[in-house]
Amino acid sequence: MKVEQLAQRLLLIQIGVTVVLALGWGFYSGYSEAIAVLYGGAISIILARMHKYGVCKAQDKALDAPDAGMMIIYMGAAIRFVLLGIMLGVGFGLLKLSPYPTLVGFGLAQLGYLYLAKR
């Protein structure tokens, strides 16, 4: 399966998991908790899209220079890691979102990778 098709399926899985979780969490805990779940899921989706972009860019570069393709993958991982910390910091500090639903939303959306990897 091509990278673009995998990324599209992953996006749909992540959106579905995030929306279902946010609806359930919002029903039991309220609106602000549902927003926190959506924020955590959105972080996961943004980072997954960045990963897809980096993989596609690395594939193109790897045809000419395999080392350059690997460097793109490594740099992309480092950038996504730093960006994760920044986005979580903004969510917890600036937006005052509840940490538990934010992290659960992020974590379950990330499980889309595991689900897709098994197939």
40 token code pair: 């955590």
Place of tokens 């937006």: 95
> b/e string for 66-105 if b means 16 or more Cβ within 10 A?
eeebeebbeebeeeeeeeeeebbeebbeeeebbeebbbbb
Q: Domain spans of the chain?
A: 3-118
pLDDT in tens, 50-96: 988 888 888 888 888 878 888 989 999 999 999 999 999 999 999 99
69 token code pair: 């393709």
77 token code pair: 């991982």
Q: pTM here?
A: 0.89
